[in-house]
Structure 1
Amino acid sequence: MINSRTRTRNRRRAAVVGTALVSALLTFGCSAQDPDQVGPKNDDDTSTAATKQPTLKTDPQLRAMLPADIKKSGKLVSVNSGSFPPYLIVGSDHNTTGASADLLNALGQLWGVKITEKTVDSLPSELTGISSGRYQMAFGPVGDFKERQQSNDFVDYVQEFVVFAVPKGNPKKITGLESACGAKIAAQAGGSAEKVIKDQQKKCAAAGKPKLTVMSFKDQPSSILAVQSGRADAFFSSQAPLTYFVKESGGKLELAGTGQQNGFEDLYQGAVVKKDSPLVPLLQQSLQKLHDNGSYDAIMKKWGLEANMIDKPGKNMAVS
């Protein structure tokens, strides 16, 4: 459970993210209403993790930890399930931008390999593809949960919070998870937020409260567009991308239910690899180096993600 100290820290972080992200959006934003720019591509699309970060030198010790096949080919593929701004924005030119893209580029420089992004149709496809060995990793960040650790390992590098994006004025008066009864709530299919809102749907029904309708979409842009078009009353998801979409909406959307647990304990997100993959220690040590040399701080702040920074990367940090 989140203790009072953590809850206070979370509220402070939540307040920081809105202000900090405005500056980043003015420079790097793309419209949530432009599916060609932020929508997912098909299963065959591959893109370079583009960035303008300073070049880092290859670290011989880290490179030596690479699996032999990756070292030989000089290539590594990171899979994703579409745009998750401001962490990952998949452009119409098949390039990716965002905090995760910048971090991936920095890792590629440390390892002396070219890392590319491959977009698939959904988060479940992403996770099962990694656990089956079809894909080498997903850098995400993807939510870390105990049940997911049965098939995959996580190297967490951010903390997230789950809230609602609602139309300006919050017509359904959604103030948290329990007040969602009677509303139509959008969620990304296969994600942790979808599971939590579906559990709340059952609680609303058991308590005899107005029906909560869950509308599942394959990606973030489709979900937020459902709210913008009036098909859904709210989108339940991670606060960082929702803050991005709210800022991009031109005053048509706002956040609701901030500063609360909303069905989650401390929520960590990060890179995902196959269970017991040799990439786990490599990712953890490499991300720690990016912490130590200041790259992590610079990239996260560049994208307005100060509220989501953690002190050090960690393996399987989920407590539930």
Structure 2
Amino acid sequence: MTAGTICRTTAAKSAKSRIVAVGAIAVAGTLLLTGCGDQTDKKEDGGKKVVSAPLSDELPANIRNKGVIKVGSDIAYPPVEFKDKDGKTVGIDPDIADAMGKQLGVTFEFDNGTFDTLLGGLRSKRYDIAMSAMTDTKNRQEGIDEETGKKVGTGVDFVDYFTAGVSIYTKKGDDQGIKTWQDLCGKKIVVQRGTVSHDMAKAESKKCKSGKISIESFDNDQQAQTRLRSGGADAGSSDFPVAAYAVKTSGGGKDFQLVGEQVEAAPYGIAIAKNNPKLRDAIKMALDAIIANGQYEKIIKKWGVDAGAVKEAKINGGK
């Protein structure tokens, strides 16, 4: 969930991305991840098994003592993070967080918020991290407002864990000749507020010579999809995994279709405050550990997005 030249960056640089991944999104939201056993060390102590997390000592003492990492996330972005029919938070991000938690000896607790408020919540210490298909961009790293180009905060560090691109989708059987972003001139698009898709739409509209792009933005992507489904717009846009999941699942696959090619490949990053390098480095080590032991690969394949997998964690790899 993104949000110009990168994905949740725009043709001008961006704001949320939530892959230049090629392949379909697997509808596996209710499947249990198998084969990803507890990777923590187990030792015998007076006949009792004591479980110790291998990377626990790498955490800041306050978080290690609490045993909890508070995660700011927009939990309405399937298949990255969303609520299942029982109200449980599921998806790519929660699965990765759970696997990292076993390495660090803590629980990642997801707290729902609108995407465009997550970095503010991180700055105010409401959250320890933000993990929500957020595109790692230089502007976000430096605290620069995408539209004004002015500095609005201290910025954040990112631990990059996935790669994603942006897609356009329309009502099924009614693409109105839309194949590229330029084809949207004179038409109406719905997007999630503060995402790369939102930034790209604004940037492309400025280039239009015959009719600007009419943009309607929403708190979450599902609201945008509802608007398009009802005929209130010509197209929608979101990160490829989200768009492909909507095409596959909405109305049993009868509501939407992808049009054109996905663009603006960029990394998703876990955002951490600049003044918390110990937590940043611990999360990077945990991500590298689950990549090395195969848990990461199983999670990515479970959700059918293995084309967006990374081979190692990176800090601030966005452009």
| 2:310 counterpart SS class | strand
Alignment partner of 1:54 out of 29, 37, 53: 37
- State the shift of 1:304 in Å: 0.5
Pick closer, same or farther for the CA change 1:89–1:276 going to 2, 3 Å.
Answer: same
| 1:307 counterpart SS class | helix
CA displacement, residues 51-92 of structure 1 (integer Å, 9 cap, x when unaligned): 664323166552101111111111121111222211111246
Equivalent residues in 2 for 1:122-161 (5 A)?
122-150=114-142, 151-161=155-165
- State the shift of 1:256 in Å: 1.2
TM-score by length of 2: 0.81
Equivalent residues in 2 for 1:229-308 (5 A)?
229-249=230-250, 250-259=253-262, 261=263, 264=264, 266-277=265-276, 278-308=278-308
> In the alignment, what sits opposite 1:217?
218
* Distance (Å, rounded) in 1 between the aligned partners of 2:21 and 2:106: 38
| 2:232 counterpart SS class | coil
Comparing 170-179 and 222-231, the one that deviates more? 170-179
Alignment partner of 1:17 out of 18, 23, 26: 23
* Distance (Å, rounded) in 1 between the aligned partners of 2:58 and 2:199: 36
- State the shift of 1:29 in Å: 6.4
> In the alignment, what sits opposite 1:10?
none
* Distance (Å, rounded) in 1 between the aligned partners of 2:272 and 2:39: 24
Residues 51 and 97, structure 1, Cα contact 8 Å, conserved in 2: no
> In the alignment, what sits opposite 1:317?
317
**Does residue 114 of structure 1 match 2:107?**
yes
**Does residue 188 of structure 1 match 2:192?**
yes
| 2:244 counterpart SS class | helix
- State the shift of 1:15 in Å: 7.2
* Distance (Å, rounded) in 2 between the aligned partners of 1:304 and 1:130: 30
Q: Show structure 1 runs of 4+ deviating over 6 A.
A: none
> In the alignment, what sits opposite 1:64?
57
Residues 166 and 233, structure 1, Cα contact 8 Å, conserved in 2: yes
* Distance (Å, rounded) in 2 between the aligned partners of 1:125 and 1:154: 17
Pick closer, same or farther for the CA change 1:124–1:252 going to 2, 3 Å.
Answer: closer
| 2:137 counterpart SS class | coil
| 1:312 counterpart SS class | coil
Residues 33 and 299, structure 2, Cα contact 8 Å, conserved in 1: no
Corresponding letter in the other structure for 1:269:
Y
* Distance (Å, rounded) in 1 between the aligned partners of 2:242 and 2:194: 17
Cα RMSD, aligned residues only: 2.2
* Distance (Å, rounded) in 2 between the aligned partners of 1:15 and 1:295: 19
Structure 1 regions of 5+ residues with no counterpart?
A: 3-12, 31-49
* Distance (Å, rounded) in 2 between the aligned partners of 1:295 and 1:163: 28
* Distance (Å, rounded) in 1 between the aligned partners of 2:285 and 2:244: 30
Comparing 53-62 and 70-79, the one that deviates more? 53-62
Higher relative contact order (CA 8 A, sep 6+): 2
**Does residue 173 of structure 1 match 2:177?**
yes
* Distance (Å, rounded) in 1 between the aligned partners of 2:207 and 2:80: 32
CA displacement, residues 10-49 of structure 1 (integer Å, 9 cap, x when unaligned): xxx867422xx2xx31x4369xxxxxxxxxxxxxxxxxxx
Residues 156 and 315, structure 1, Cα contact 8 Å, conserved in 2: yes
TM-score by length of 1: 0.80
Corresponding letter in the other structure for 2:141:
Q
> In the alignment, what sits opposite 2:147?
none
Residues 55 and 105, structure 2, Cα contact 8 Å, conserved in 1: no
- State the shift of 1:273 in Å: 1.0
> In the alignment, what sits opposite 1:79?
72
| 1:157 counterpart SS class | strand
**Does residue 90 of structure 1 match 2:83?**
yes
Number of residue pairs aligned between Structure 1 and Structure 2? 277
Corresponding letter in the other structure for 2:228:
V
Higher share in helix: 1
Alignment partner of 1:105 out of 98, 102, 105: 98
Residues 170 and 256, structure 1, Cα contact 8 Å, conserved in 2: no
* Distance (Å, rounded) in 2 between the aligned partners of 1:98 and 1:288: 20
* Distance (Å, rounded) in 1 between the aligned partners of 2:21 and 2:104: 36
Residues 159 and 270, structure 2, Cα contact 8 Å, conserved in 1: yes
Corresponding letter in the other structure for 2:309:
M
Corresponding letter in the other structure for 1:272:
A
